[in-house]
Structure formats: C-alpha cells, structure tokens
Amino acid sequence: MKKVIVLGPAILVVFFLAAFIKGERDTDKPMFIQPSEQRMGDPIKGYNYLLTGDFLKSGIPYDFFIFAHGKGKNMLNREGKNANVDEGFNVVTNADSIDIVIPTCLQCHSQEFDGKLYVGLGNSFADFTNAGQTGKKLALLNMWKTTAPQKYRAVHALLQSISVVNPEIETDVAGVNPADRLAGLLVAHRNPETLEWNDTALLTGPANIVPTDVPAWWLLKKKNAMFYNGMGRGDFGKYLMMSNLLTVKDTSEASEVDSHFSDVLAYIKSLQPPPYPLPVNKDLAATGKAVFTSNCSGCHGTYGSDGVYPNLLIPGSIIKTDSMLYSSTLQATSFIDWFNKSWFTQTANPARIAPSAGYVAPPLDGVWITAPYLHNGSVPTIEAVLNSRLRPKYWSRDLDKPTYNYELVGWTYTVHDAPNGTKVYNTTLPGYGNCGHYFGDKLSGDERKAVIEYLKTL
C-alpha cells in the first residue's frame, strides 16, 4: 500500500481485512495487530486500588516522608493519611505494620490541566533530568540500617533498586519520560523466573535512555497491543503491574499484586476522554471530517458511535518519525528473551513481547488535550504535526505556569535559536527528533484548519 486513501467506513473494513490477511510478517506495509484475550474486572475496585492499594510493599516511612517533604495537595479528595500526600503517592501499611509512602502510576499517568487533575492523562511535566541526584538523597536513608532497623526494612527494597536505576534514567530535557529504560533496567537486575533482585545486571537491556511522551489511558480500550511500538501482546494486566518490579520480593508477592490488575485494567478501559471545552465551528469541523476521512482514517480510524479503529502498526519506512525507540527495543534481544521466558509469560494470563520496527497509529480520541505530540513529545502543537515546516527545532513551554493554545491545539511555546539547558526541547538529540509523519504537509492551509477543527471534536 503506497498511498493511504480511504473513502469511508466500508472501504476501511476492506483495508482492515486486507491488512489482517497480510498478517504480521510484511515489514514495509501497515500491519494489523491481532487482539489477545483480556481478563475482566471491576472498574471501581480498580480505581480504589490505584488510589490506595499496596502494589509496592516497600516505601518511605510515612512520618519521615511528611517530615522531609511536607504535606501534599489532596486533589483526588482521598481520606486518612492519603489526604496528606500528593496524588502520585499512596500511603499503605507494610508487613511490620508501619505506614509507608509508595510512588504510584499517577506520577506519570495523571496531569493537572487548567487547574483540574486528570487521572489517565499522561504527565508531560515530570522532570527526570536530575533523577540521579534524587536517588543519592534517598540513599542517605541507608544509615537506618544500624540506627532504625525496622524503618530500614521498610525502605530497603526501594533503596536497593533506586540506587541502581536512578542514575541511569536521566533524560536530557524535562517533560519526557524514561519508563522504557526503567523497565529495561529493572528486568536486567531480576531473575526471570523468581523475580529476585541482583545488585549486578544479569543482562544488557535497551542501550539508550529513549525519551517518550506518556500515552493517555483512555485510548487503551481500542488497542490490541500496548506501547508505542505495539510490543505489548497477550494479557495487558501483566504489563500494567510491571511497576511492581521496582520492589518485588518474589513471585508470590507478584501473584498477589497481579490479582488486582484485572480491576485496574477495567478502570483504565472505563475512562473517557475529556471533551474540548470551547465552542467548535460545526461547519468547519464537518469539512475537516471529510478531509480526515480521505487522508487520515486509513491509519487512525473513524469516530463516533459506529467508529472503526483499524489497529495498525505503521513501519518506520512509512511513518519516518524518530526510530530510536523501536530500534533500541529490537536490538535489546536479551531483554526480549528475559521477558518471554519470565514469570510474566510463564504463568496464568501470560503476556508476550513482540517488538516491531514501527509505531502504532494511535486512536485520536481526546487528542486536543494530549500535547506535546508524537511518541517522544517532540512537537508542541497539532498544527505543527500537520505541517512539518512549522516544527520548531529548539522550543520551550512554561513548565511552571503553562498556557494552552486552544486554536493551534497544543502548548504555547517559545522558539529558541540554539540548545539551552534542560528546559528547552532539543530535537537534534538522538531519540528527540521531530521528523516524520508528513501526511499533513500536502493539505492546503484551509484543509489543515478544518482537520484541526474536526480533531477538537474527537
């Protein structure tokens, strides 16, 4: 398929079937991602577990945390001690009956936007440029080994992994996420069958700290595979619980944590994208829908109650966006082997990693709120996604008091002439490139405006 031209839902189905028949071998054509069976769960239980659950069993003793950190904002209206810590932490009771504070999914998977906290919106403000320093500060707690053995026991597993991992996950600029590298490192230090920790790495994981944006959770319900490169096949719950590798003791702990993740998956699948809050020009959006249908739907699908999402993996040769994320995973064969012979794949509800040389064409529901764009967050607005000539080489946004441009859809940004520290996105760095996805370039200015108006309605 050289050109993606789709006339409407009927043809989309033909396209979908054609891709299906081609299977997953052909590497220079869009490939259909086969669905895999998923566990069913209870979304309300899943939400409660996310906000109060002990998916890590090691953390910082609560009293010390409040002393060192102060109290946080209670944006999720939580109760008890959870009301005193920010949304990215849970207070849980450990095996010694000590209250500990653990970092949670919401560190990366929630974000404030115009004064409101959105659970499931990828956090594009987290700053990992100084992660090593944070690790060093935490390492001071090792002094408890002799002075306060019970506290030491509570935090030991966390310190052990953070001291190894944190210096290795520093990103070059703020606002991008090193989670892929984090997963690679945690895996490298654990026995695949017993999940037990080793201070020295047992294998070489992905070689680079590849920066990524964090995808919105409400998109997962449409996807047949997890992650930008579509490598997450089989049971999604197994991937959702991978954070547990930060501190897990053994497989019996992993199984107990895993048993909650059918509920977490059900919660994630229940999320809806927030609607665009300003008025939309309906006529312009209708024109935009027609442009979208003929230029974009072949990959991104159709929307509304009868919408069809084609679940396609687009090879690097077609998408041409920065290749480091997919190539770095493909090269990390020992990481892939680890996973595919590990507890994650050898127990009930198995997962399976199947990396490819390309990226999933994501659903665009709620895309208006998910700037910056592309898998590495290299493009600040949708306008610039659709017109590559406008993409800034060096750009920054106000990370403390960000403002949103509802017209161009994305962050208000400043263009710089040269790289300038960790607050300026530098698209010339390896992995940070803003190339590719040139499908909007051929549109006229009016067509592009119309498509943007339509995208606001998704």
- Locate 84 and state its tokens: 């005193």
Nearest distance from C-beta of residue 325 to ligand HEC, angstroms: 6
Q: Of these, 206, 362, 380, 392, which contacts ligand HEC (CB under 6 A)?
A: 362
CA nearest 120: which of 50, 198, 179, 54?
50
CA nearest 74: which of 89, 65, 66, 86?
86
Nearest distance from C-beta of residue 342 to ligand HEC, angstroms: 17
Contact of 324 with 210, CB cutoff 8 Å? yes
Please, which residues have CB within 8 angstroms of residue 331's CB and are 6 or more apart in sequence?
206, 207
Residues numbered 66 to 105 that lie near ligand HEC (CB under 6 A) are 105
Residues numbered 298 to 327 that lie near ligand HEC (CB under 6 A) are 298-300, 314, 318-319, 321
Q: Does 212 bind ligand HEC (CB under 6 A)?
A: yes
Other Cβ atoms closer than 10 A to 97: 7
Nearest distance from C-beta of residue 385 to ligand HEC, angstroms: 5
Q: Does 223 bind ligand HEC (CB under 6 A)?
A: yes
How far from 345 is each of 37, 239, 328, 333, CA to CA, in Å?
14, 10, 22, 16
Kindly tell me the burial class for residue 278, based on how many C-beta atoms sit within 10 Å of its own C-beta (0-12, 13-18, 19 or more).
Answer: exposed
- Locate 211 and state its tokens: 């920066």
Q: What is the dihedral of CA 93, 95, 100, 101, to 10 degrees?
A: -80
Place of tokens 């490192």: 185
Q: Does 264 bind ligand HEC (CB under 6 A)?
A: yes
Q: Does 332 bind ligand HEC (CB under 6 A)?
A: no
Q: Of these, 131, 214, 369, 384, which contacts ligand HEC (CB under 6 A)?
A: 214
Residues numbered 387 to 416 that lie near ligand HEC (CB under 6 A) are none
Nearest distance from C-beta of residue 219 to ligand HEC, angstroms: 5
Residues numbered 13 to 42 that lie near ligand HEC (CB under 6 A) are none
Place of tokens 């597993």: 157
Nearest distance from C-beta of residue 240 to ligand HEC, angstroms: 4
- Assess whether the previous peptide bond of 372 is cis (omega < 30° from 0): yes
Q: Of these, 166, 262, 295, 427, which contacts ligand HEC (CB under 6 A)?
A: 295
Residues numbered 417 to 446 that lie near ligand HEC (CB under 6 A) are 437, 439-440
Kindly tell me the burial class for residue 305, based on how many C-beta atoms sit within 10 Å of its own C-beta (0-12, 13-18, 19 or more).
Answer: exposed
Nearest distance from C-beta of residue 318 to ligand HEC, angstroms: 5
Q: Of these, 179, 201, 202, 308, which contacts ligand HEC (CB under 6 A)?
A: 179
Kindly tell me the burial class for residue 265, based on how many C-beta atoms sit within 10 Å of its own C-beta (0-12, 13-18, 19 or more).
Answer: buried
The residue ranges that bind ligand HEC (CB under 6 A) are 4, 55, 105, 107-109, 177, 179-180, 182, 212, 214-215, 217, 219-220, 223, 226-228, 240, 243, 264, 268, 292, 295-296, 298-300, 314, 318-319, 321, 359, 361-362, 364, 367, 370, 373-375, 382, 385-386, 437, 439-440, 451
